[in-house]
Amino acid sequence: MSEHAPLELERFLPYRLSILSNTISQAIAREYQQRFDLSVTEWRVMAVLARFDTLSAREVAERTAMDKVAVSRALAGLVASGRVIRRMHAGDKRRSVLRLSASGWKIHDAVAPLARAQERKLLARLNVEEQSWLEQILDKLTPA
Amino acid sequence: MSEHAPLELERFLPYRLSILSNTISQAIAREYQQRFDLSVTEWRVMAVLARFDTLSAREVAERTAMDKVAVSRALAGLVASGRVIRRMHAGDKRRSVLRLSASGWKIHDAVAPLARAQERKLLARLNVEEQSWLEQILDKLTPA
DNA sequence: CCTTTATAGTTTCATATGAAACTATTTGCA
DNA sequence: TGCAAATAGTTTCATATGAAACTATAAAGG
């Protein structure tokens, strides 16, 4: 009789993180997805453009941890809807110079508080001590 | 001059969880994906069948937090490759009765240690105190 | 120079995914 | 009974995604 030692999926850390992350992302996405016709990838691109003002597509990819194909597609949508302004870099015609338009800022200023509220709601389930441990743990687990 | 208060994406909890979860899942998946020609969804199905011996497709969906379409497709693959045996429930012809075949168990017994090793490697970045806080925090954040 | 190599970004193609429609069967209840 | 509603599971369709090929431009080296 062999010993199979099955994995307890519901205790398995990678699995739990995956479930948690998906649950949260879906909850947030539902809030703005339809309301602003904005995908998660598009929102991430807008968030970094809000933060850094002007970036190239490659820089957006770096800062969002998305691959360049995803960024390219998100940008196509954002430029088409007039939320992002794309110009050509003066000294390098390969590069784009990206920034939020006025309407892009308007969307950003509406969505950012929603996102923050979701985060607060999530953290509210933890006490202050747990919150600070979580911070520390994520720093350690997330590759530099 | 308006105040835009841009989101710091790299500090934003849902974003960090999403990055962390994807990084980990991809690392694990790479290990067995090609080597055993096994997708993540297929592996999850196998893991719960290893744990509970016989389940219906709906029960598999519940226990893996996957939707029934994903389960149906994973099972189609697993049955086709002879890793899962599907029979019909005696008293209810709608239900399937699923269990791992001998070759399914063989795969399971090879993959489970790999998965566990990945988890250990991940947890090794944390000290014992942090590990126990993480446990507690995940319990609180994960909806019952 | 000018040719090779690297970089920025887009397009293509093959696969993954979820929602909704669908089939088959069972359950609830008038 | 017998018919409406619920349940198990599959298929369809529309969209999302990543890898690799591709285009255009810039940098590097002989």
Provide φ and ψ at B5, rounded to 5°: 45, 65
pLDDT digits (tens, 9 = 90+) for B67-124: 999 999 999 999 999 999 999 999 999 999 999 999 999 999 999 999 999 899 999 9
Residues A41/A45/A50/A55 CA torsion (nearest 10 deg): 170
pLDDT, tens digit, for every residue of B24-82?
888 887 778 888 999 999 999 999 999 998 999 999 999 999 999 999 999 999 999 99
- Closest by CA to A142, choosing from B17, B142, B137, is B17
Residue of A nearest to B50 (CA): A6
pLDDT at residue number B2 = 63
Interface test with B, best of A3, A18, A39 (most B CBs within 10 A): A18
- Give A67-98 as a 3 state SS string: CHHHHHHHHHHHHHCCCEEEEECCCCCCCEEE
Query: In this structure, are residues B114 and B31 in contact, taking their beta carbons and an 8 Å threshold?
Result: yes
Report yes or no: B137 and A126 within 8 Å, Cβ to Cβ: yes
- Whether CB of B58 is under 7 Å from strand D: the answer is yes
How many angstroms separate the CA atoms of A102 and B33, rounded? 45
Identify the H or E element spanning B82. Answer: none
Residue type, A142: T
Average pLDDT over all residues of chain A: 92
Which pTM value belongs to this model?
0.89
Q: Is the CB of A90 under 7 A from strand D?
A: no
Q: Provide, in whole angstroms, the distance separating residue A36's CA from nucleotide D29's C1'.
A: 51
* Of residues A74, A93, A92, A94, the one with CA closest to residue A84: A74
**At how many degrees (to 10) do helices B57-64 and B68-80 cross?**
120
- Which amino acid would we find at residue A29? A
Subunit contact B118:A44, Cβ cutoff 8 A: no
Instruction: Name residues whose C-beta falls within 8 Å of residue B43's C-beta, 6 or more positions apart in sequence.
Output: B32, B111, B115
Q: Which nucleotide is nearest to B94 if distance is taken from CA to C1'?
A: D8
| pLDDT, mean of residues A64-80 | 96
Question: How far is residue A123 from each of residues A10, A92, A119, A129, B129, measured CA to CA in Å?
Answer: 22, 44, 6, 11, 20
A111 vs A118, B16, B133, CA distance in Å?
11, 18, 32
Q: What is the pLDDT of residue A62?
A: 94
Which has the closest alpha carbon to A45: A61, A30, A26? A61
Contacts of A6 in chain B (CB under 8 A): 47, 50-51, 108, 112
SS3 assignment for A111-141: HHHHHHHHHHHHHCCCCHHHHHHHHHHHHHH
